[in-house]
Amino acid sequence: MARRPLPRILTDRAPLLRGRELARTAADGAGDIFHPLVTLSRGLRRLAVAAGRRWRATPQERRAPMCFLAGACVLVMALAPYGPLLGMLAVMGASAWAGRDRSPAPTGPGEAESARLQALYEALVPYFSGDGDPEPLYAHGGDWAEAFDAYEFDDDGRIVRLHLRYPAYFTDGEPAARARIEQVLHAKSGRGREYRFDWDEEANTLALTVLDPLPTDIAAQRFVTAPGETVLGFTDPESVQRTLPVAVGETVQDEPPVLWRTGPRSTEPHLLILGHPGSGTTSLLRSLALQALQHGDVLIIDGGGTGEFGALTGRRGVLGVESGPSGALATLAWAAQETERRLLATSRARQAGEPAPDDTRRPLWILADRPTALTHLAAAEGRDDPQRLLQVPLRHGRAAQVTVVVAEQFDSAGLLSDPVRVHTTRARVALGPATPDEVRAVLGAEPHTTPTPLVPPGRGYARLGAAPVLRLQVPATPDPYDESTAEAHRRAVLALLPEHTVPAGERSAGQPVRMTKACAGPANGEEAPGRAAVDDPAPGAGPTGGAVTVHGTVRAANAEG
């Protein structure tokens, strides 16, 4: 005989859980509504109990006068104008006062919280105790209240804030000693969260704070910034002194940005980005490109050749998207000569007491994604290293309004050339999962926070110059032509792209685009390396009236050449 299935109401627990939640919500709402009545009834009961206790404690000979006095008071109140109303209000006030909640507020941690603090205290004893200390602050079996000044717990009983003192002889100036303490606090306070440690060597105190996750739902958009300011991402509110209005879905909220300033007065004119595959380095380059196209021109070198920058091909302000060794060498040679031309034009204008020409003040951005891959391909073909051509823009780019951004993976960082290493050390970004030692090797300093357990794309650390290391979350800027891209992010990126300047047929066929800039021609009439052709100068223009034309090829991002 076949078994009959049980009714769905007995097997499906979702309606039961939903009904239980509704009942609990209704009970909480009813308790809030009837709370005044409960307070008044409790006060009346307490007043009645107190009156009965007072009546029983009164001697027999005094009860009659007391009844006469109470009756007289009731009679006066009844005959006086508004007497009954005032009497009722007095009784309700007395009942409310007598029925108030008199349970004492908790002044200290509970039993479970005290046990957690004591365990944390015992774990720190081997590191903060000394053999010759006559009055040790940390000792086995000691009291944690003497060492922990302030603490705070969340609803689950986990520590979210802790302020502790440590002895003066602890070597808080050594990174290894600090790392041991931070590791113990991280393990005992609960894994799966990010912690920030603030050491005060002068006061011998350490503050531990649980950090909120950085927002990952901020898409690419027009940020409210001044010319020369670029948003790398967003960080903690207490780390910066400025916020920007950011659209998150249908709402607009203020978020603290990590601003990178470029231009002639910048102390960090170039940027180096390192990360693991899938960490968001290419997304950061796309975000920088979309921001740079508002006020300048962009030249992109795609060493990976995966087509991540195909959406920028043929757009206004995009001088080229190269993914092959020959095209990269040609465009980087033009960029080096353009940097020199700008320097010469600016210097001559200053000598003549005139402002710099307009074409020298328009920013030029060179974005190189994985240039070490092109170095290997160029060596296989017997060509020059494309990284060598970045030396001139890196060295003189700040004065010539040329900004270089290099993105590379951690495993290929050792293949970066010396000019890239030397001139991009002032501003660096490390993305993806990385140990504190890896972050210190890239940024030159350790972060004051613990590594996050789950690293979303675009999550990492940034350091600009000698500033502290900041947590960083890059705005979501995916490839809009990728099928796995969310529709909201796709629309956000497409809305920021400039209009096309190259016909669709030429973009698909990979026709060459002539990049022409008026510049100073060679004195001896020879053709400089990387120049495809030098037009004849106009009559009377002198040595500076020529125009250098470089035949750079704008192709799809995964094309060769």
444 & 479 share domain: yes
DSSP annotation of 424: T
CA dihedral (359, 404, 307, 220) positive or negative: negative
416 & 303 share domain: yes
Cα–Cα distance for residue pair 384/239, rounded to 1 Å: 43
Boundary (domain end) residue, out of 211, 244, 263? 211
Q: What CATH number did the domain enclosing 144 receive?
A: 3.90.1150
Q: What CATH number did the domain enclosing 324 receive?
A: 3.40.50.300
293 & 431 share domain: yes
pLDDT at 7: 54
386 & 459 share domain: yes
Q: What separation in angstroms does the CA of 285 have from each of 79, 169, 264, 408, 420? A: 87, 47, 21, 11, 17
185 & 262 share domain: no
Cα–Cα distance for residue pair 172/196, rounded to 1 Å: 16
pLDDT at 510: 41
Three-class HEC string of 478-514: CCCCCCCCCHHHHHHHHHHCCCECCCHHHHHHCCEEE
Cα–Cα distance for residue pair 325/377, rounded to 1 Å: 7
> How would you classify the pairing of strands 205-211 and 194-200?
antiparallel
For 522, the enclosing helix (H) or strand (E) is none
Boundary (domain end) residue, out of 508, 526, 544? 508
278 & 352 share domain: yes
Q: Distance of alpha carbon 333 from its chain centroid, rounded?
A: 36
Q: E strands within 102-193?
A: 148-153, 159-165
409 & 445 share domain: yes
In-domain check, residue 167: yes
Q: How many residues are present in the chain?
A: 561
Cα–Cα distance for residue pair 152/506, rounded to 1 Å: 64
Domain count, the chain: 2
Cα–Cα distance for residue pair 117/56, rounded to 1 Å: 51
In-domain check, residue 298: yes
Q: Give the SS3 label for residue 412.
A: helix
Q: What separation in angstroms does the CA of 230 have from each of 3, 167, 288? A: 69, 44, 7
> How would you classify the pairing of strands 229-234 and 251-255?
unpaired
Q: Enumerate long-range contacts of 172-179, CB under 8 Å, 24 or more apart.
A: 172/199, 172/201, 172/204, 173/201, 175/446, 177/127, 179/436
* 369 close to 277: Cβ distance less than 8 angstroms: no
pLDDT at 550: 41
In-domain check, residue 327: yes
190 & 314 share domain: no
Boundary (domain end) residue, out of 464, 487, 508? 508
pLDDT tens string, the chain, 561 residues long: the values are 455 554 554 445 555 556 667 777 776 676 677 778 888 888 888 888 888 888 888 888 888 888 888 888 888 888 888 888 888 888 888 888 887 766 655 556 778 888 999 999 999 999 998 888 888 899 988 889 889 999 999 888 889 999 999 999 999 989 889 989 999 999 888 888 899 999 999 999 999 999 998 999 999 999 999 989 999 999 999 889 899 999 998 899 999 999 999 988 899 999 999 999 989 999 999 999 999 999 999 999 998 888 899 999 999 999 999 988 999 999 999 999 999 999 999 999 999 999 989 889 999 999 999 999 998 888 888 888 889 999 999 999 999 999 999 999 988 888 898 888 887 778 999 999 888 888 888 898 888 888 877 889 999 999 998 899 999 999 999 999 998 899 999 999 999 999 988 654 554 434 444 455 444 444 443 434 333 333 333 333 333 334 434 434 444 333 333
Q: What separation in angstroms does the CA of 405 have from each of 160, 401, 547? A: 38, 13, 27
Cα–Cα distance for residue pair 393/400, rounded to 1 Å: 8
Show the tokens assigned to 139. Answer: 């000792």
* 96 close to 43: Cβ distance less than 8 angstroms: yes
180 & 234 share domain: no
CB atoms within 10 A of CB 46: 17
Q: Annotated binding site: which residue ranges?
A: 275-282
In-domain check, residue 550: no
In-domain check, residue 461: yes
pTM beyond cutoff 0.85? no
198 & 243 share domain: no
Q: Distance of alpha carbon 54 from its chain centroid, rounded?
A: 67
- Residues with Cβ within 8 Å of 64's Cβ and at least 6 positions away in sequence, in order, are none
Q: Give the SS3 label for residue 265.
A: coil
Domain that holds residue 334: 229-508
Angle, alpha carbons 163-168-174 (nearest 5°): 85
In-domain check, residue 538: no
In-domain check, residue 408: yes
pLDDT at 519: 44
Cα–Cα distance for residue pair 103/87, rounded to 1 Å: 29
Q: Annotated binding site for ATP: which residue ranges?
A: 275-282
- Residues with Cβ within 8 Å of 341's Cβ and at least 6 positions away in sequence, in order, are 360, 517, 518, 519, 520, 548
> How would you classify the pairing of strands 271-275 and 402-409?
parallel
Strand order in the sheet with 159-165: 148-153, 159-165, 205-211, 194-200
CA dihedral (11, 17, 18, 24) positive or negative: positive
* 272 close to 427: Cβ distance less than 8 angstroms: yes
83-98 vs 35-57: helix crossing angle, rounded to 10: 90
Residue 461: closest CA among 202, 211, 243, 94: 211
Task: State the first-to-last Cα distance of the chain, in angstroms, to the nearest integer.
Answer: 76
Residue 214: closest CA among 229, 198, 193: 193
377 & 418 share domain: yes
- Residues with Cβ within 8 Å of 318's Cβ and at least 6 positions away in sequence, in order, are 289, 293, 297, 298, 299, 300, 312, 498, 554
pLDDT at 81: 84
> How would you classify the pairing of strands 318-322 and 297-302?
parallel
CA dihedral (478, 483, 488, 493) positive or negative: positive
pLDDT at 5: 54
318 & 406 share domain: yes
Cα–Cα distance for residue pair 442/271, rounded to 1 Å: 12
* 561 close to 555: Cβ distance less than 8 angstroms: yes
pLDDT at 184: 92
